[in-house]
Structure 1
Amino acid sequence: METGYRKEIDERLTGILSHFYIIKTDVGKEGSLHHLSPSLEMMLVFNFGTPVSYSFGEKEITRHAIHKIGIFGPMRKMLNYHLKPGNDLLVLNFTLNGFYRFFSVPMENFSDEHVLDPDLLMQKNRLDKMWEMMKMLPSATQRIELMTQYLLSDLRENDPETLPLLESASYFHSAQVSPVKAIADKAELTERTVQSRFKRYVGYSSKELLRFLRFKKVLYHILTLTSYLVDWADLVERYGYHDQSHLIKDFKYYTGVSPRRFVKLNEQDGFCMSVDMV
């Protein structure tokens, strides 16, 4: 039986991780294709079983695979992954500037369509050691406990430069506010400085975040419908798109497929939406 489930974090990791996710498949289970929604978040994946093949957006799954440790993000595109018999994964879902606080790597250096080679991180040797230690543990709960202690032992305080961004997160959910201008005015910074800090600490611009948050509402709307009959004209008007081609453009950008193709994926139960998408 294939198992995929979420585990809540220790409250001391609030602002670092949103949750852990565990995937484990029986050896006799048939392979299956899955799709994970974009989220703008970073994911650290430990694989203790058979390799997991993946692709992004509209690209077919080919030779790319996670064998041991992989780092995804910021997750701008839909992630396609193929589960096979013997998969055994522990996924750490970082949130906001949590990845930066742990790895101290400028986030604008990350590409959304490639898995970062852990060799590029100063913590590479420790990640390898953690993988070896967790591999020996018999349960996901014990692995999470060990990883939690590891994160807490090396957790850095928020960089003071990030505080104006974190304290003003609610601005991005208000249609009446220009978030960057509001943050700049409140913190007595230039708008250019605010934009630069966004890219450094979270890996994307404020403009990109606003675009994504609107698309997130569209996804949530579709996924909560009681039927798969979608009124596309209503979505365009409800969420402030210029026209249907504008909506289609966002679907192609984030998922790699058309809106109607996305609905079909959802009908097939192969799509998973991150409930913590910013």
Structure 2
Amino acid sequence: MSENKEKYSSFRIPVPAAYEAIFSHFYVAENRSSASITKTLLPSFQTILIFNFGVHAELCSQQNLKIKMEKCIVLGPIKRAFDYTLPPESEIFVANFKDDAFYRFFGHVSLTQYLPQSPDALLNANCFNMLWTELKKIGDPDLKVAYILEFCKKYLRQQNTITEHLINFGDTGISSIKSVAEMYNQSERNIQLNHKKSLGYSSKEVNRFRRFLKAVSYIQKGAVTTFPLKIDWFEIIEECGYYDQSQLINDFKHYIHLTPTKYLKFQQEICHAGA
């Protein structure tokens, strides 16, 4: 392992059981090396809150523009992969909102996809600048998490019952829109609007993403269990509900800017390096 890599660290912090419906996890990354380190953030359909300590980290937009992270930014829902760069002496602390939790906390604010926004600008307040100041004083990441959880407790709104039902359907293969519309005697159009408003994306968008994740899972499983490596692409197309190979390729290019075969090669290289 190189000296630079030895001085770069990143890790996840799990969420206490009482807050598992609000955050999926917290993420910390620090670069104490002498060189900038670039990472790729894969799509998750989650909205994230990033606290930037130390030297400003940078985001790379879809147009390859470098955008400096301010003290605290909101980004999402993350629907496509993008790169970010951590220069020397940078540190980020990321809260990953789950399902509708961002909107339960911030209300129905308007987010600009793929561009970071100041949470204080969204709320027309100065509370997150003050929160950043307090977190900056705390060295222990676990104590940072505890402070954030206590901070958000008093602002979190009750979950809408319709949204709760939409979330609970999850990846069941059942039409959540149609079922919830019948349950509440509303039009499917109204439920679709509720879905978009409460979660930040439509049911059609997230169903496409789940199909993509299923394909990724099949590819990763095949890469681990078959030697010499052999992926049955037509089996993946059939099992994951794709019409043809072209649709599979389009999804990979859409979400991570790679073809399935290039993604597979990337995975092989990572596994080989780890071994």
Q: Shorter-chain TM-score: what band?
A: 0.7 to 0.9
What are the equivalent positions in structure 2 for 1:194-213 lying under 5 Å apart?
Answer: 194-213=191-210
What are the equivalent positions in structure 2 for 1:118-267 lying under 5 Å apart?
Answer: 118-122=119-123, 124-158=125-159, 162-175=160-173, 177-224=174-221, 225-226=223-224, 229-267=230-268
Contact 2:120 2:127 in 1 (8 A): no
Give 2:149's aligned amino acid. T
Q: Secondary structure at the match of 1:67?
A: coil
Query: Comparing 44-53 with 224-233, which one deviates more in the overlay?
Result: 224-233
**Whole-Å Cα distance in 1 between the matches of residues 237 and 44 of structure 2?**
21
Greater relative CO, 1 or 2 (CA 8 Å, sep 6+): 1
Measured after TM superposition, the shift of residue 84 of structure 1 is 2.6
Q: Identify if the C-alpha distance between structure 1 residues 8 and 262 changes in structure 2 by more than 3 Å, giving closer, same or farther.
A: same
1:9 and 2:15 matched: yes
Measured after TM superposition, the shift of residue 129 of structure 1 is 0.2
What does the per-residue CA deviation read over 1:85-105, in whole Å, with 9 as the maximum and x for residues that have no partner? Answer: 212111000011100111112
Give the equivalent residue in structure 2 for 1:92. Answer: 95
Cα RMSD (Å) of the superposition? 2.2
Give the equivalent residue in structure 1 for 2:46. Answer: 41
Query: Comparing 35-44 with 230-239, which one deviates more in the overlay?
Result: 230-239
Q: Identify if the C-alpha distance between structure 1 residues 169 and 153 changes in structure 2 by more than 3 Å, giving closer, same or farther.
A: closer
Contact 1:48 1:68 in 2 (8 A): yes
Contact 1:56 1:78 in 2 (8 A): no
Give 2:241's aligned amino acid. G
Moved over 6 A (4+): none
**Whole-Å Cα distance in 2 between the matches of residues 231 and 81 of structure 1?**
33
Measured after TM superposition, the shift of residue 172 of structure 1 is 4.0
Contact 1:16 1:95 in 2 (8 A): yes
**Whole-Å Cα distance in 1 between the matches of residues 268 and 127 of structure 2?**
42
Q: Percent identity?
A: 27
What are the equivalent positions in structure 2 for 1:45-124 lying under 5 Å apart?
Answer: 45-55=50-60, 60=64, 62-106=65-109, 109-122=110-123, 124=125
Measured after TM superposition, the shift of residue 56 of structure 1 is 5.1
Contact 1:13 1:152 in 2 (8 A): no
Q: What TM-score comes out, normalization by structure 1 length?
A: 0.86
**Whole-Å Cα distance in 2 between the matches of residues 96 and 104 of structure 1?**
14
Give 2:80's aligned amino acid. K
Measured after TM superposition, the shift of residue 187 of structure 1 is 1.9
Give 1:51's aligned amino acid. H
Q: Secondary structure at the match of 1:218?
A: helix
Q: What TM-score comes out, normalization by structure 2 length?
A: 0.86
Measured after TM superposition, the shift of residue 163 of structure 1 is 1.4
What does the per-residue CA deviation read over 1:191-210, in whole Å, with 9 as the maximum and x for residues that have no partner? Answer: 01100101111111111111
Give 1:65's aligned amino acid. K
**Whole-Å Cα distance in 2 between the matches of residues 123 and 232 of structure 1?**
50
Give 2:208's aligned amino acid. R
Query: Comparing 222-231 with 62-71, which one deviates more in the overlay?
Result: 222-231
